[in-house]
Chains A and B, each alone.
Chain A
Amino acid sequence: MSNISLDYVRKSYGPSEVIHGISGSIQQGEFVVIVGPSGCGKSTLLRMIAGLESITGGEIQIGKRVVNKLEPAQRNIAMVFQNYALYPHMSVFDNMSYGLKIRKVPKEEIRRRVEETAEILELTPYLKRSPRQLSGGQRQRVAMGRAIVREPDVFLFDEPLSNLDAKLRVQMRLEIKKLQERLGITSVYVTHDQVEAMTLGHRLMVLNAGSVEQFGTPIDLYDKPATLFVATFIGSPAMNILNGTVSEDASSIILPEGEVIPLGMRLNAQAGASVNLGMRPEHIRLATNGNALFSFKSDVIEELGADTIIHADFGKATSSMAVRLDGIHRVSSGTQFSFAIDPENLHVFDPESGKRIN
């Protein structure tokens, strides 16, 4: 078990830089998820920690060692790949024991460790089979077993669940979380799925175009997204972003048609400056007795049973507006609704830099 620290890590391919100086530290036993859209450099970063990609600049430390120049084998890490990368010509047992054999662990101990791990992952009946005789979920477990059995300092996961079907994905997600808690091994997990990221990680590192947008707990990211990117990336349906301007006294936002949304605080911004106002669909309520802040006509209604999602083409929003109401609301499209929202649930961003300003 080890901590990992990244110090201004950079990666370029020729003249183009794909990772622009990422820093952050991962505590011992922590489960950190690197999340971002495809092409943001999250897999590259993970592969740099693994030693599969060279490091152009900066420093990566695992435990007390700087690993920049170390081969993957010397870093005492284990990695689970997206396509599992099981050795097809070996049985499950041989797949799991390959790394131990290379490290010249005594035969007896190899047997004991593989059997223990197989027990944990419920793979005991399959030890003699070859990978192609296993289902996707079982292969996934063998890949994890191969990682666990080595008792590495660090686990790395490269989108390990994206080849599974939706149901299995949810199930394996839970298993991974339980397993990581039980073993307490420092883990770094890469995914593009924000739900996976939110449920698994102790902390999330949100990457966008090779830079860290925010690095914090799931609740931090949800409650106080540091940038517009994080705000729209985390949460489903995505946060509504509205255009507005700062009022005279800088304590409320004025929407284009004059609706005033009080912030309950003073913004450190010029009056009349344009801003983006973020509201999560689940924080918007139906207005009661005259506290309505804004209103619009519904467009499409999605009735999901547990909640109802109202979509509307609200001119002030940057894209279609969504409101999520608890429970069942029997309404037809084209109905006029009035809405309210609590000031503490508002997010204000500078449209230029995308940074949070409230």
Chain B
Amino acid sequence: MIKRVHFPSSPLPYLLVAPQIAITIVFFIWPAGQAMYQSFLIEDAFGFGREFVWFENFEILFEDPLYADVFIRTIFFSVMVAALSMFLSLILAGFADRVVKGATIYRTLLIWPYAVAPVLAGALWVFMFNPSVGIIAYWLDLIGVDWNHFLNGGQAMALIVFAASWKQIAYNFLFYLAAMQAIPKSMIEAAAIDGAGPAKRFWTIIFPLVSPTTFFLLVINIVYAFFDTFGIIHAVTEGGPAGSTVTLVYKVYSDGFIGLDLGGSAAQSVILMAMVIGLTVIQFRYVERRVDY
């Protein structure tokens, strides 16, 4: 039995957490409640009246083949972003861990992209890949690739995957580097003496030992790709061409603010909310209980 320490009760602790609770209520709980309420309403197009319809908004969504498409596209997008950014940052961290000279400069440079605002990151990629003036589009043209993400949905998707992954590499890199530096040096040396070359050591010793970090980052990256990539998509493709880069979060925005289907949009946010809750549970249940050696 763990004995709890009892302190004499005083209002001070409540006072200290009050501001945080107030912020949570005003900025999170209240809007969430509003969205929940909104999702039960259907509003007429001009905003003159609304009707309480229980779960009709949800029924419409689940029967909509377009929504299913967006769902699948979002999952594809998230998996691609998580895989690409985690793989690249793992490799970069592996190299950074071995660098002796100029390690600080190298690391600082790798962390910079994290400080770039999503919309700016998107703008950078739009310029580089612009079919008429972009430098990368020009290079691609030289090797015979006809790049035009304004017309080609697959290319547009590839572009937002690159932009979103690039943005996330810095974050993943930091965590991977920290995890690698926590591995005792002698373990790597033991493997070297056992005859393993750098690549072999990386895949048989370092990679398994950073697996708790990998799992943690997987959840974080999926959450990121699902919910935090609105700015990038908005700046790069605005969901186009022909909706081929619309993800769940983008659809909430375009249905609600462009299409003015407030009820339907709110129902989508409620679904997203449920997913965040689900991912958070996974996070707490499995990731926080870290695999420790």
Contact across chains for A72 and B189 when beta carbons are under 8 A apart: yes
Contact across chains for B209 and A73 when beta carbons are under 8 A apart: no
Cα-based distance from A250 to B66 in the complex (angstroms)? 109
Q: How far is the CB of A2 from chain B (nearest CB, A)?
A: 15
Which residues from B are CB-within-8-Å of A83? Answer: 184, 186
Cα-based distance from A85 to B187 in the complex (angstroms)? 5
- Is residue B190 within 8 Å, beta carbon to beta carbon, of the partner chain? yes
- Is residue B293 within 8 Å, beta carbon to beta carbon, of the partner chain? yes
The verdict on A98 contacting B194 (CB below 8 Å), with A83-B184, A87-B187 known, is yes
Contact across chains for A88 and B293 when beta carbons are under 8 A apart: yes
- Residue of B189, B192, B193, B197 most packed against chain A (CB within 10 A): B193
Q: How far is the CB of B191 from chain A (nearest CB, A)?
A: 7
Contact across chains for A71 and B293 when beta carbons are under 8 A apart: no
The verdict on A73 contacting B190 (CB below 8 Å), with A83-B184, A85-B184, A88-B293 known, is no
Contact across chains for A87 and B193 when beta carbons are under 8 A apart: no
- Is residue A139 within 8 Å, beta carbon to beta carbon, of the partner chain? no
Q: How far is the CB of B285 from chain A (nearest CB, A)?
A: 22
The verdict on A73 contacting B293 (CB below 8 Å), with A85-B187, A87-B187, A87-B205 known, is no
| CB-CB contacts below 8 Å: B164-214 with A | 184, 186-187, 189-197, 200, 204-205, 208-209, 211
Contact across chains for B187 and A73 when beta carbons are under 8 A apart: no
- Residue of B186, B205, B208 most packed against chain A (CB within 10 A): B186
| CB-CB contacts below 8 Å: A279-301 with B | none
The verdict on A71 contacting B192 (CB below 8 Å), with A81-B186, A87-B205 known, is yes
- Is residue A99 within 8 Å, beta carbon to beta carbon, of the partner chain? yes
The verdict on A81 contacting B293 (CB below 8 Å), with A102-B200, A150-B194 known, is no
Contact across chains for B209 and A88 when beta carbons are under 8 A apart: yes
Which residues from B are CB-within-8-Å of A86? Answer: 187, 190
Q: Categorize the interface residue count of chain B.
A: 10 to 19
Contact across chains for B209 and A85 when beta carbons are under 8 A apart: no
Q: Write the chain B residue with the least CB distance to A74.
A: B195
Contact across chains for B193 and A73 when beta carbons are under 8 A apart: yes
Which residues from B are CB-within-8-Å of A89? Answer: 208-209, 211, 293
Q: Write the chain A residue with the least CB distance to B186.
A: A85
Cα-based distance from A52 to B193 in the complex (angstroms)? 9
- Is residue A78 within 8 Å, beta carbon to beta carbon, of the partner chain? yes
Q: Write the chain A residue with the least CB distance to B204.
A: A98
Contact across chains for A50 and B193 when beta carbons are under 8 A apart: yes
The verdict on A81 contacting B189 (CB below 8 Å), with A87-B205, A132-B293 known, is yes
Question: Contact flags (1/0) for A66-106 with B, using CB distance below 8 Å?
Answer: 00000111000111011101111100000000110011000
Cα-based distance from A213 to B293 in the complex (angstroms)? 42
Contact across chains for A102 and B196 when beta carbons are under 8 A apart: yes
Q: How far is the CB of A144 from chain B (nearest CB, A)?
A: 12
A73-B195, A86-B187 given; name 5 further pairs at CB < 8 Å: A52-B189, A73-B197, A79-B190, A82-B186, A88-B293
Can you list 28 residue pairs at the A/B interface with Cβ under 8 Å?
A50-B189, A51-B193, A52-B192, A52-B193, A71-B192, A72-B189, A72-B193, A73-B196, A77-B193, A78-B193, A79-B190, A81-B189, A82-B186, A83-B186, A85-B187, A85-B189, A87-B187, A88-B209, A88-B293, A89-B209, A98-B191, A98-B196, A99-B193, A99-B195, A102-B194, A131-B293, A146-B190, A146-B194
7 closest pairs, A vs B, by CB?
A88-B293, A99-B194, A85-B186, A85-B190, A73-B195, A102-B195, A81-B186
